[in-house]
A = this chain, B = another copy of it.
Amino acid sequence: MEERSGPSTIVDVARAAGVSVATVSRALRGLDRVSPDTREKVRRVADELHYVASPTATSLASGRTRIVGVIVPFVSRWYFASMVSAIGKALRERDYQVLLFDLEQEVFGERLTLTRTMLWKRVDGVISINIPMSPEELELLSGLHVPVVSVGHHLDDRSSVGIDDSAAARTAVAHLLELGHRDIGYIGAAIESSALNETPRSRMAAAIAAMAAAGAPVRPEWVLSSDWTAENARDLAHRLLTAGGDRPTAIVCGSDEMAFGVHVAAQELGMRVPVELSIVGIDDHPLAGLFSLTTVRQDIRGQADQAVTLLLDELVTAGNVGSHSIDEDRRLTVATELVVRGSTAAIRR
């Protein structure tokens, strides 16, 4: 009769199936206490009416949105983009949606209000990708009263997943040491603006420690701070390689993108890679193959899956939110792996 009166609601289905809305709700959500016949009929009717429950009404009634807020400093860089992609995939498989918060070009201070107002009552949980936070920001996050897991660094005493940055850097250095290198440079120390970020510091510190432990010289002028872009790394490498006096025979970079920059610098200076200069990165960026870059691969998918699992676990264990049991190990580490390509070689005697 009433064919076209807008999208159908649960009431339409109930009426057409000759049952109550409560029964429709139960039947469609697969709850128990519904007779097989009823369930079958409700399903059929719902199908015919192209019924899909209104997520908005469901959220209001149930108190859960089935949406997870994903916060990234910038989606336009490879690590973040692929992490967002992988997290979205994992979330979707569990019937959750991604509300994306890209802080790119946001003024630092404004993130506060942003976080609170925009996530407030909107999401069941939050995944924060490599975003260092001030105490105030952390407090605001807490005020959301939803589980939070961070990826790529630790936030407070919350759950987190990431690679072991120190181990990754050690792996890179160890590879060079095995090839006989002793004069090793490092590009990718933290610059001030990212001072809150652990990753640059951890990788650099571990690289230096590994060199020192092997008795290799650690020269301060060979350890360079970078903004982590390829171009900046190219400039730094230029300077490092043309400074006069000794040169390193190998350079470890905190990320593949910086390694690309070093690679280009070497070429511009007419140095052959790896014969005259070995280069190692960290990441295994999609373009690493193009540069034949030896690198320490990090498993994005693995990290994303773990992060989603952790978050959904906490979602289930909800109610006692806020009272994290720190004793359980909620800081997961996903293994990295050395990928040897053509940018490293044994040192020439």
Measuring CB to CB, which residues of chain A are less than 8 angstroms from any residue of chain B? 7, 50, 52, 54-57, 59-60, 65, 67, 70, 74-78, 81-82, 84-85, 88-89, 92, 97-102, 104-105, 114, 116-118, 120-122, 143, 145, 229-231, 234, 260-261, 264, 267, 286-287, 289-291
In the complex, the answer to whether B75 meets A81 with C-beta atoms within 8 Å is yes
In the complex, the answer to whether B89 meets A290 with C-beta atoms within 8 Å is no
Once bound together, how far apart are the Cα atoms of A143 and B49, in whole Å?
Answer: 13
In the complex, the answer to whether A56 meets B52 with C-beta atoms within 8 Å is no
In the complex, the answer to whether A76 meets B85 with C-beta atoms within 8 Å is yes
In the complex, the answer to whether A105 meets B121 with C-beta atoms within 8 Å is no
Q: A97-B99, A290-B261 are in contact. Are A7 and B230 (CB under 8 A)?
A: no
In the complex, the answer to whether B104 meets A122 with C-beta atoms within 8 Å is no
The complex is assembled from copies of this chain, and their number is 2
CB-CB nearest in chain B for A265: B290
> Which of B82, B121, B286 contacts A7, CB < 8 Å?
B121
Once bound together, how far apart are the Cα atoms of A316 and B16, in whole Å?
Answer: 34
Question: Which residues from chain B contact A78 at a C-beta distance below 8 Å?
Answer: 76
In the complex, the answer to whether A99 meets B102 with C-beta atoms within 8 Å is no
CB-CB nearest in chain B for A118: B97
In the complex, the answer to whether B54 meets A56 with C-beta atoms within 8 Å is no
> Which of B7, B59, B104, B289 contacts A56, CB < 8 Å?
B59
Question: Which residues from chain B contact A56 at a C-beta distance below 8 Å?
Answer: 56, 59-60, 65, 121-122
Once bound together, how far apart are the Cα atoms of A140 and B98, in whole Å?
Answer: 21
